Amino acid sequence: MIVRYFRAGRGTFGVLVTIGVVAIGLLLGRVVASSHNPPVPAGPQPVAAYQGSRTGQWLIEADPGAADFLLTLRYTADRWQSNSSRSVAFEQLQGLSRAQMASGGSPVQFQIVRDAGSFNCEGWFKNGEGSGHFAYMPNPRFVSELVRRGYEAPTDDQQFSMALHDVNFALIDGLKSQGFERPSTEQLVRMGTHGVTLQYISELKASGYDLKSVDLLMRMRDHGVSAAYVKEMAAAGYSQLPAEELVRARDHGIRTEYIKELSESGYTGVPLDQLIRIRDHGVKPDYIKDLKEEGYTGIDLNALVKMRDHGVRPLFIKELKDMGYSNLTPDELVRLRDHGVTASFVQRMKDRGFTNLTVDQLIRLRNSER
């Protein structure tokens, strides 16, 4: 049997079949019997057999710390540049054996079958890693199944993107069953490119985030808010934060390591807003530790931010201490730094006979030189 696929128009595909009458009857019977699941292609074929198809590169390597493999599909064209990587189970690599993967070098042909379409792959495997080329074959039933579910028919580009990123009916139906607002076809495409999977949704839900907004879901995924991050923040004392606050915390570099180090420096239970503020202003645990070595402990967080903003560094404090100015308050240190009163200036004043000057006197003398 020879089957040739050709593009009949935007979002539609025609099938030209040269076949006997009996075979047509069998094919129609299979289509009717599978009303919900996309048909599985007959088996891997050489990439050259799919002339006119979209073609690209595949790469498979071990996924560190996981039983699955890391699959990368790369596709470049005039309007496209896609590099999609995700974990896949061995069972999804149809026609590929473990012996071929582990061999010292073996040519391979296999298929990656997804709801939106299949990727017919050929290439080379050696010692558990492989690479080669793929030819994409769209699943014509995918469009009708989407329409049956009430979605707008995807364009050819949209369907290809959904195949690349494995936007499947399990995800689409899962969104409905979990009460999400109905996404558009374009939003489904974007969910794929942003890496939103049914597993990600389920993990967030198990962490207490039963979201209904697809856009918020994509925003959380984009900004690196994983279920693990939610769990770590809760363990650090920041539980049941609104989703947008989690995104904000992640954007501003709030990590549990930072919270832990602050706690070890004596700053516990810091409100999230203040935590973000001191992180943004560069108040790091190392800075607090260095100040402590100069005798400054338990400083108010707002004072720490002010000192950091005005350039009060531990070396500045040490040099003033060496000149006899110990136990200066944070505000006095900031004022001296703002007015350019340094240890070298103090030494110059001493050389002129000015000793035991107050902070105000030092500042006036420094200003008089300008």
Mean pLDDT of the chain: 86
* Residue (of 93, 85, 124) closest to 110 by Cα position: 93
Residue located via tokens 């985030």: 209
Q: Is the dihedral of CA 92, 98, 102, 105 positive or negative?
A: negative
Q: How confident is the model at residue 52 (pLDDT cuts 50, 70, 90)?
A: low
- Inform me whether the pLDDT recorded for 319 exceeds 70: yes
Query: Contact, 219 vs 246, CB < 8 A?
Result: no
Indicate the pairing of strand 117-126 with strand 106-113.
antiparallel
Q: Determine the pLDDT at residue 334.
A: 97
Query: What tens digit of pLDDT does each residue of 186-238 get?
Result: 999 999 999 999 999 999 999 999 889 999 999 999 999 999 999 999 999 99
Query: Contact, 231 vs 207, CB < 8 A?
Result: yes
Encoding tokens for residue 207? 């962490």
| Section 308-336 average pLDDT | 95
Query: What tens digit of pLDDT does each residue of 171-185 get?
Result: 999 999 999 989 999
State how far the Cα of 253 lies from the Cα of 228, in Å rounded to an integer. 15
Instruction: Assign 176 to helix, strand or coil.
Output: helix
Instruction: Spell out a b/e string for 103-128, using b for 16 or more CB atoms within 10 Å of the CB, else e.
Output: beebebbbbbbbbbbbbbbbbebeee
Which of 16-25, 46-55, 99-108, 360-369 has the least mean pLDDT? 16-25
State how far the Cα of 337 lies from the Cα of 339, in Å rounded to an integer. 5
* Residue (of 139, 184, 185, 141) closest to 163 by Cα position: 139
Residue-wise DSSP of 73-84? EEEE-SS-EEEE
- Inform me whether the pLDDT recorded for 1 exceeds 90: no
The pTM is what? Answer: 0.72
In the chain, % of residues over pLDDT 70: 86
Residue located via tokens 């989407």: 146
Domain boundaries along the sequence of the chain: 2-138, 310-368
Instruction: Assign 37 to helix, strand or coil.
Output: coil
State how far the Cα of 35 lies from the Cα of 57, in Å rounded to an integer. 32
Indicate the pairing of strand 81-88 with strand 93-94.
unpaired
- Inform me whether the pLDDT recorded for 137 exceeds 50: yes
State how far the Cα of 217 lies from the Cα of 210, in Å rounded to an integer. 10
Query: What tens digit of pLDDT does each residue of 246-259 get?
Result: 999 999 999 999 99
Q: Determine the pLDDT at residue 145.
A: 95
Query: What tens digit of pLDDT does each residue of 91-136 get?
Result: 999 999 999 999 999 999 999 999 999 999 999 999 999 999 999 9
Query: Contact, 134 vs 150, CB < 8 A?
Result: no
State how far the Cα of 182 lies from the Cα of 149, in Å rounded to an integer. 11
- Inform me whether the pLDDT recorded for 34 exceeds 50: no
Query: What tens digit of pLDDT does each residue of 252-289 get?
Result: 999 999 999 999 999 999 999 999 999 999 999 999 99
Q: How confident is the model at residue 79 (pLDDT cuts 50, 70, 90)?
A: confident
